Chain A
Amino acid sequence: MNRSAAEVLLRLGDDYLINGQRLSEWCGHAPMLEEDIALTNIALDSFGAAQLIYTMLISEGIHKGSADDLAFARSEREYLNCQLAEQPNGDFAHTILRQFIFDAFAFHFLSNLKQMNEPIVRSVAAKLLKEKTYHLRHSGEWVVRLGDGTDESRSRTENAFKSLWRFVPELFVDDDIILAANKETNFPLYSTLKSEFQETIATIYGRAKLEIPMMKNSGRTTGRRGIHTEYLGHLLSEMQILRRSYPGAAW
């Protein structure tokens, strides 16, 4: 497998891993039982996706070791998830908005992988797209209900937006890795996904009676280079603790 393509896929795998980890913190604490089940469903799909991507990269000879080694044994600088994914859960509005933004991005990214040269990537993408379609429906419908709900829910959604929207530009910056992957294996450039993403956001925001946000053109890509916010370190400490406390043990 092409190295640049592999790195782009690792980014996606890490997005899913960290997204899953954040969602699993809700288990048992959601606003109603049905939502405990729904959020856990997305968390399960996310860990499953990470596992699938990591396993594929290993079988293609890009990484050594196991999917668990990729998930649990890397240092913070080696994780390539977007900064959005590692943001803390906050209240339900915060979690749902973070999820919605990620789902919209991932949905369009996965949809555009149909044009890729590598069949194994196309088949993984097709499977993940089915799940992501459902996740997007869930998070989008919640944004509508929170935006067009009560004054309190609207205000919380607006606060969540103010705090999370600054992590959006990173998702659409074309750096040298994606440029190479695009040239060599036909990966879609992140920037080409912007207008479809914007449309998805606008449709839901319209129904939610929220002001439709403008996309900033600039953005640094940092999470994609392993430079994260202060949150990731804590998240990884918790996630990796058993492996680090009992080196070499099997679980």
Chain B
Amino acid sequence: MTAPTKNESTVLWEVFLQERSGSPHTHAGSIRAADAEMALQNARDVYARRGLPESVWVVRTTDITTSSATDRESFFEPVKDKTFRHTRDYVVPRDIERLER
């Protein structure tokens, strides 16, 4: 991702929080800090004031590679047709399927 950089005194970091044990880290927003240690502390102070997240990640915005709007069609649309990854594409006699535990 690009980060606006005009003469910036700080680096832009994206913040991810793990809200509960076992759940994935989700994006919370961004903060500015000069280095990773300060970014981590700032992220905790800004995004984790309420509740007790399990963990915080900070990543330099420029280290994140993202798909673009124009990628959407070629990256994701074809997936919609690939029903062979879904159970509804396959048929098993019902009385046997019922034995699934």
Contacts and interface: CB of A to CB of B under 8 A. Distances in A.
Interface of A: 32, 34, 37-38, 41, 137-138, 141, 145
23 contacts: A32-B10, A32-B32, A34-B31, A34-B33, A34-B38, A34-B42, A34-B45, A34-B46, A37-B42, A37-B45, A37-B46, A38-B41, A38-B42, A38-B45, A41-B45, A41-B49, A137-B41, A138-B41, A141-B37, A141-B38, A141-B41, A145-B34, A145-B38
B30 to A, nearest CB: 11
Interface of B: 10, 31-34, 37-38, 41-42, 45-46, 49
A53 to B, nearest CB: 23
A145 B49 CA distance: 25
B55 to A, nearest CB: 15
A64 B50 CA distance: 34
Contacts, number: 24
Q: Which of A32, A34, A37 has the most CB of B within 10 A?
A: A34
B60 to A, nearest CB: 16
Nearest to B35: A145
A87 to B, nearest CB: 24
Given A37-B42, A141-B41, A145-B38, 20 more contacts: A32-B10, A32-B32, A34-B31, A34-B32, A34-B33, A34-B38, A34-B42, A34-B45, A37-B45, A37-B46, A38-B41, A38-B42, A38-B45, A41-B45, A41-B49, A137-B41, A138-B41, A141-B37, A141-B38, A145-B34
B52 to A, nearest CB: 12
Contacts of A37: 42, 45-46
